Amino acid sequence: MKLSIIVPVYQVENYIRPCIESIFRQGLDESDFEVIIVNDGTKDRSMEMIQDIIATHQNITVINQENLSLSVARNNGIAKAKGEYILMPDSDDLLIENSLPILLEKALETKADLVLADFLEMTDQQIEKKEPIQQPTLNITMRKGEELFLQDLNPNECYVWRTLYRLDFLLTNKIQFIPGISCQDVPFTHECYLKAQNSLRTNVLLNIYRQRASSATSFFHKRKCIDLCTAMAATWKLRHLEGLTKEALLKLHDDVYVTFKLIFYVMVRGAISKAERLEIFDALQRMAPDLSFSHGIMQRLTTLLYHWSPTIFYWFYKLPRTFSSV
């Protein structure tokens, strides 16, 4: 088996069918890949919307589980995967037609640990009106994982769905998603990039990333902050990996700083009580007691204020000027 495509499903009845249909518009022989659909206890009609597709294709496997989170669904899919490579598209996004064959061919040819592709962002309206997408002139470069980390990993865009992962690479390095949290992509992608021995960077347009409107209340709450603390602490621990260059270590610190600022941004923007803030401060200091930043004056000031008093740091962050320049 060449490829396993893992699709977690939860509350996406309006989007799941186009997603699954796009998988079967790749021009791949069905004997070469499998689709693992993980029903994460969805309560809507998502599974009904694709029941006829499941019945039609022999290479689809369905895993049913209670609602355990996207991270657990992905882990369970990886555990069942038989392909040499895996792809993990989000269930509300689309694969661009015939984009996978070239990526899979190059992956199998080079045995790269990671194969990174490009993507397009579109709204629902743009997707409905889209014309056939032209692929750019193919450009593929071989890089070490650390080079990919330094040149291509945006800490605000840790998207796992734009990459083919060699399954044996994930299993050998015991790389998994942290169960039960959002933001699970952040430590996962950082660990993959930093541990990869070789990787391919391509300009192939693989995904259409659907831009969906979301309410502020779905983001600005205590649970989001705690999840961010967990993700940040796991990423912070990666600085102990052997063989990191000074450049990689500096970028890793800066990437963790991005998540750290996001935690306080969520607290400032959300309706989070004083008691909840104290819980978040406690979680931060418990999970990453030696957290420190030193790349520039503002990072050093951040570290000083944070360790002196998280509450004072919170109010400093909440000032009108906030940390837009930090």
| Structural domain contains residue 325 | no
CATH number at residue 204: 3.90.550.10
| Structural domain contains residue 47 | yes
Give the CA dihedral 168, 171, 175, 178, nearest 10 degrees.
130
Domain boundary among 210, 231, 246: 210
Residues 248 and 304 in one domain: yes
How is 35-92 classified by DSSP, letter by letter? EEEEEE---SSHHHHTHHHHHH-TTEEEEEE-S--HHHHHHHHHHH--SSEEE---TT
Residues 103 and 194 in one domain: yes
Residues 284 and 172 in one domain: no
pLDDT digits (tens, 9 = 90+) for 68-110: 999 999 999 999 999 999 999 999 999 999 999 999 999 999 9
Residues 158 and 228 in one domain: no
Residues 149 and 246 in one domain: no
**Contact in structure between 206 and 118 (CB atoms under 8 Å):** yes
Q: How far apart are alpha carbons 160 and 97 in whole angstroms? A: 19
Residues 150 and 75 in one domain: yes
Q: How many domains does the chain have?
A: 2
Q: Which residues, other chains included, contact 246 with Cβ-Cβ below 8 Å and sequence gap of 6+? A: none
Q: How many helices (H) and strands (E) does the chain have?
A: 14, 9
Domain holding 139, by residue range, is 3-210
**Contact in structure between 220 and 271 (CB atoms under 8 Å):** yes
Residues 126 and 164 in one domain: yes
Q: How far apart are alpha carbons 21 and 17 in whole angstroms? A: 6
- Asked if pLDDT for residue 266 goes beyond 80, the answer is yes
| Structural domain contains residue 228 | yes
Residues 280 and 187 in one domain: no
Residues 131 and 15 in one domain: yes
Residues 67 and 137 in one domain: yes
pLDDT digits (tens, 9 = 90+) for 288-317: 999 999 999 989 988 888 888 887 778 777
pLDDT digits (tens, 9 = 90+) for 222-251: 999 999 999 999 999 999 999 999 999 999
| Structural domain contains residue 323 | no
CA angle 120, 125, 126 (to 5 degrees): 30
Domain boundary among 162, 188, 210: 210
Strands (DSSP E) contained in 179-283 are 199-210
Domain boundary among 210, 242, 262: 210
